[in-house]
Amino acid sequence: MLMQNKRILVCGVANERSIAWSIARRLHAEGAELAFSYPNEAIEKRVRPLAESVGSSIVLPCDVTRDEDLDAMTAALGAEWDGVDGVVHAIAFAQREELKGRFIETSRQGFQLALDISAYSLVALAKRMETLLTARSGAIVTLTYFGAEKVLPHYNVMGVAKAALEASMRYLAADLGPKGVRINALSAGPMKTLSAAGITGFKTMLHHHAERAPLQRNTTGDDVASTGLYLLSELAAGVTGEVVHVDGGYNIIGM
């Protein structure tokens, strides 16, 4: 088993459809010990039973917009574990009104909120986890999307946030590399989750993707779980600062 005796913090499980949950289940199947975070009580109600189902009793509150939450989660985790082998960052948010119509209409407040939750949170989390990750030469994986690279209808400010997330990931890779800590981004094809439901025309995106991707199908939870496992495991010991596409090859097609 690839993750025997490995301790992984998973941030971003909202329900059983979450990408973070697919990755968590695979890590568990490979022997990992898991901890989870949740941003509010509504999500906590869903995360606790899921955590329990994979034998995890470490379930901690953390709204990434609050420094005090990030500090408290880090302290609580440090009290349980002497180090962390991996962190899954699968967190993003934009207001619904920003995910339709023209990007030019993005409000200052909507821009700041999307960038704060979806991009800065990776920096804030990496900073808090640095000592625990260094103790075990750990790795971070974050979730991104093709909208960082190319314009997609209605993805709007989230595309800009993902571009910032990917650039942040590279700068973090340079900072953390000398400490033996790796960080990579997994760029998943569109998948039907709670967050995706907020994007206008998402069904059309799914249909278009399956039609155009070389593999002629949509991305699955198993697809992202396998690559998430790889990036967090010894198999990717020489890989950092990369954006790995798990999209059936969609991103290589021009026409």
The site for ligand NAD (CB under 6 A) is made up of 12-14, 18-20, 39, 43, 63-65, 90-93, 117, 143-145, 188, 190-191, 193-196
Of 102, 140, 103, the C-alpha closest to 20 is 140
How far is residue 248's CA from residue 55's CA, in Å, rounded to a whole number?
32
CB of 178 to ligand NAD, least distance (A): 27
**DSSP 8-state symbol, 154:** T
The catalytic residue positions are 145, 155
Distances (CA, A) of 67 to 9, 11, 72, 120: 18, 15, 9, 11
CB of 247 to ligand NAD, least distance (A): 8
CB of 57 to ligand NAD, least distance (A): 19
Tokens of 152: 């997609």
The distance in angstroms from the start CA to the end CA of the chain is: 41
Q: Which is nearer to ligand NAD, 144 or 168 (CB)?
A: 144
Could you give the dihedral angle defined by the CA atoms of residues 77, 47, 222 and 239, in that order, rounded to the nearest 10 degrees? -20
Q: Which is nearer to ligand NAD, 30 or 63 (CB)?
A: 63
Q: Which is nearer to ligand NAD, 168 or 193 (CB)?
A: 193
Q: Which is nearer to ligand NAD, 143 or 173 (CB)?
A: 143
Residues 158, 145 contacting (CB under 8 angstroms):
yes
CB of 90 to ligand NAD, least distance (A): 4
Distances (CA, A) of 135 to 70, 78, 81, 139, 179: 19, 11, 10, 11, 9
CB of 5 to ligand NAD, least distance (A): 27
Q: Which is nearer to ligand NAD, 69 or 175 (CB)?
A: 69
Residues 139, 169 contacting (CB under 8 angstroms):
no
